[in-house]
Structure 1
Amino acid sequence: MKILHVIPGLSPALGGPPQVALNLVKSLRDLGVDAEIATTNFDHPHPLDVPLNQRVDYTFGSDSSDSVPVWFLPFNPPALKEFIFSKALTDWCWKHIPNYNVLDNHYLFSYAPTCAAAIARWHRTPYTVRVMGQLTPWALAQSRLKKQLYSTLIERHNLNAAAAIHCTTHQEAAEVRHFGIKAPTVTLPLGVHAPAPNPEARSQLRAQYQISTDTPVILFLSRLHYKKRPELLLQTLHQLKQQNYQFHLLIAGTGEPDYVQQLKQSTASLGLTDNVSFTGLVLGAEKDRLLQGSDLFVLPSYSENFGIAVAEALICGLPVVITPGIQIASDVATAEAGLVVEGAEKPLGEAIAQLITSPKLRQELGERGRDFAKSQYSWCTIAQNLIPAYETIAKQKRRPCLDI
């Protein structure tokens, strides 16, 4: 069985979806499935420095064994957000898609998966689609008219013709149905890897950012985008500072330069310069050190189809403060692995204050979160559960009854 994953790009600037594709393909290959990726060389401000128009072993983790086969095709500038047109990818899909048993398309409203789905239908190759949170009410409200037109002309047909729609939560499956899609759904969470334990992470982190040992460290780890509401977190911490709470916030991630500069200006205007550090993009061992060395994780996002950064915090034993728009919030609340609060200054501030003043509560939540994430968010388990769906689709070569 040969599986092709199609995604607009693997740039860290595209947030969590590239990590999903890379980790899932690696886990499938570890289980004996011949899986690979077709994508573009998109990155910002310059394209990825990778070999083009050939299959390469692409290393994406801190370990050299973290590599998967990828076909990088050149994109055609200018890239319009995640749409990322590529004539080369179009030509490649026409030639190579018949060689695969199943396509697994990542993302909506984007050229690569849209193109791959249309060509797959022509060649009668079955495909699945990962909606990646693009059907939440919040996401559909962004660029609403463009998405309505795109949906009417292209996306609804792509989705309804899919062998299955991959959803990460039951809430996302309900959103697929609400969008009017009749194709079967497969509901599986995303996965995370537990990093190798680093007992020195806490002291290393404080030395690196010159934070005193008795100051609680708050971690915001995500793509820097207004959807994630870092401004709300800064405003909330401004209020806590006025009440004499001690803390240091690490804002880890990257985004549009103008937006990042705006966040830094807000930090200064709120009098938080000494309380906040912008780490920039963190990967590999540096990211692991942040997750293991901080005291709590906060993400007050408007909307997340899953919240991969939340799961990464949980598996590192980091207690989380999140909002209901993150679709694993109900699981976090049920597992008592964190605090789920409305996205407003008062409830967010109360939750953060509760955790920064109670090491015992942080430890209890963190331990429950680690146990929960290990049992629910294993990439190996997720890949094992996905393989039978691929096999059914490949054998039937038509839409099977797969709602699970």
Structure 2
Amino acid sequence: MKVLHIIASVSKVRGGTSQAVLDMVEALRVNNIDAEIATTNDDGDNLLDVPLQRCIEYKHIPIWFFQRFSPNIKAVREYAFSSQLTQWLWQNMAKYDLIHVHALFSYPSTIAMSIARSQNIPYIVTTHGLLCEWSLQQSTRKKLTYLKLIERANLNGSRNIHFTSQKEQQEVSQLGLKAPNFVLPLGISLPNNISDACYHLRQKFNIPIDEPVILFLSRLHHKKGLDYLIPALAKITHHRFTFILAGSGSPDYEAEIESLLVSNRLRDRTRIVGFVDGETKDVLMQGSDLFVLTSHSENFAVSVLESLVVGVPVLVTPGVALASVVKENQLGYVPDLDVTAIINALEDFFNNTHVAKKMGDQAQKLILEQYTWGKITNRLIDRYHNVLTNKLTIPTMNR
């Protein structure tokens, strides 16, 4: 089976979605699926220095890169228009058995679905949370207009819409889309084990060896709820801890967070470490005592899985789709997105560290049993086979 994955960018600056697609394709190839990626050379405000219009090995994955249109207007750059990609898709899409499109409201995904419909090539779409209520409330008029005029027909023309959580599926059901859908979580790639990570973390960031570490590791964005988390942490004055803030965002928002830390008198207990990956990320994940993500909306949040799989309990708010898994299986704390509720959850953590340790142990076992890419990929491949078995019933452009 030959499968082409389409995404606007695989740059690490685009966060979890790009990494999830890279991990998914790698896992498919391990399971003997001939999977490739077609994307642009987008790298945020910059461009990746990669060969264009030919398939190369990028992070051990075969990827076709195409030139992104890069004017001075940021909104246009973000749309990731690429005439090279368009031409290549018209000429080569039929060489693949199945197209797997990732994300919405970007040129690569839109044009890929449109071409697949016109050439009657089966495709599925993973929306990555972009049809969730919170996401649609951002730039509401623009997104709803785009959805009505263009994306609804593309979505209804897909053989399946893939949601990564039941929460996402329930929210999108209100849009009345006609295409069949299914829920399948993203997987987790097991990290390299860091021996004595607790010691290495504290040594690296000059933290006392016996001091608890609370970790936030995600893209810095207003949807992450840091304006709730930081005031809550600031109220925990009778417990020792260091708060590590790992991630990057726009310069304006980073300055806003810096100001928030100072105004709440939390700056001296915080280490701001910026974007991290590789061994530094593994040390942070494995050496921390609690992972926090107080987000308004997360359709999945792989970072939560990354913490749980190394035995670190989490504190997440209900907007994080994995919150139900955390709550049902007692893998951490699920307060409302409210400063007082978060304070109470933090107090529970500090006052019952033995319970938190047990949560971490339970989490590691559950994630290894249910959320590794090996488990998830087999189910995704079954879905691919089902689509191809019924490919003659694919909706056409006239539907």
Would the TM-score normalized by the shorter structure come out above 0.5? yes
Asked if 1:282 is matched to 2:280, the reply is: no
Aligned to 2:14: 14
Equivalent residue for 1:221, pick from 213, 217, 226: 217
8 Å Cα contact 1:393/1:399 also seen in 2? no
| Distance in 2 (alpha carbons) for counterparts of 1:204 and 1:42 | 34
Distance, in Å, in 2 between the alignment partners of 1:397 and 1:194 is: 35
Cα pair 1:163 1:398 within 8 Å, conserved: no
Aligned counterpart, 1:340: 334
Establish whether residue 28 from structure 1 lines up as the match of residue 28 from structure 2: yes
Over the matched positions of the two proteins, sequence identity in percent amounts to 40
The structural deviation recorded for 1:49 is 1.7
User: Which of 277, 293, 302 is equivalent to 1:299?
Assistant: 293
Residue of 291, 306, 313 corresponding to 1:312 = 306
The equivalent residue for 2:381 is 387
Give the corresponding residue for 1:164: 160
* Aligned with 2:66 (options 73, 80, 90): 73
- The question of whether the paired residues in 2 share the 8 Å contact of 1:224 and 1:260 is answered with yes
- Alignment correspondent of 2:104: 108
Structure 1 partner of 2:357:
363
2: CA distance, partners of 1:248 / 1:267: 13
Which of 236, 243, 258 is the equivalent residue of 1:240?
236
Task: Quote the residue 2:118 is aligned against.
Answer: 122
Give secondary structure in 2 for the equivalent of 1:364: helix
Cα drift, residue 398 of structure 1: 4.3
Whether 1:194 aligns to 2:220 is no
- TM-aligned CA deviation for residue 90 of structure 1: 1.1
3-state SS, counterpart of residue 220 of structure 1: strand
Are 2:87 and 1:91 equivalent residues in the alignment?
Answer: yes
Change (3 A) 1:399 1:354: farther
Contact 1:162 1:399 in 2 (8 A): no
Q: What is the aligned residue count?
A: 392
CA distance in 2, matches of 1:330, 1:4: 32
Task: Give the CA RMSD over aligned residues.
Answer: 1.5
Greater Cα shift, 286-295 or 346-355: 346-355
Residue 226 of structure 1 deviates from its aligned partner by: 0.4
Gaps of 5+ in 2: none
Distance in structure 2 (CA, Å) of the matches to 1:92 and 1:399: 26
Does residue 46 (structure 1) correspond to residue 46 (structure 2)? The answer is: yes
Tell me how far apart the structure 1 counterparts of residues 297 and 285 of structure 2 sit (CA, whole Å): 22
The one-letter code sitting in structure 2 at the alignment partner of 1:30 is V
Instruction: Tell me, yes or no, if the aligned pair for 2:44 and 2:78 is still in contact at 8 Å.
Output: no
What is the rounded CA distance, in whole Å, between the counterparts of 1:264 and 1:12 in structure 2? Answer: 23
Q: Normalization by structure 1: what TM-score?
A: 0.94
**Do the aligned residues in 2 keep the contact of 1:184 with 1:399 (CA within 8 Å)?**
no
Deviation at 1:82, TM superposition (A): 4.4
Query: In the alignment, what sits opposite 1:137?
Result: 133
After superposition, the C-alpha distances for 1:95-128 in whole angstroms (9 at most, x for unaligned) are 1111111111000111111110001111111111
Q: Secondary structure at the match of 2:168?
A: helix
Q: Take 2:168 and 2:370, find their aligned partners in 1: how far apart are those partners?
A: 17
CA distance in 1, matches of 2:98, 2:337: 40
1:118-165, CA deviations, whole angstroms, 9 ceiling, x for partnerless residues?
011111111111111112211111100001110110111111110000
Counterparts of 1:126 and 1:291, CA distance in 2:
39
Structure 2: distance between partners of 1:15 and 1:83: 16
Partner of 2:201: 205
Q: Which residue of 1 aligns with 2:249?
A: 255
SS in 2 for 1:278: strand
For 2:42, what is the secondary structure of its paired residue?
coil
Name the CA shift for 1:177/1:400 in 2 (closer, same or farther; >3 Å). farther
Residue 55 (structure 2) aligns with: 55
- Contact 1:247–1:356 (CA<8 Å) still a contact in 2? no
Q: Could you report, residue by residue, the CA deviation over 1:219-243 in whole angstroms, capped at 9, with x for unpaired residues? A: 00111100011222111111223xx
1:62 maps to which residue? none
Amino acid at match of 1:268: V
- Equivalent pair of 1:37/1:69 in contact (CA under 8 Å): yes
Matched to 1:43, the amino acid is: D
SS of corresponding position for 1:183: coil
Structure 1 alignment gaps of length 5 or more: 60-66
Structure 1 distance, partners of 2:254, 2:348, is 29
Report the AA paired with residue 266 of structure 1.
L
4+ aligned runs moved over 3 Å, structure 1: 398-401
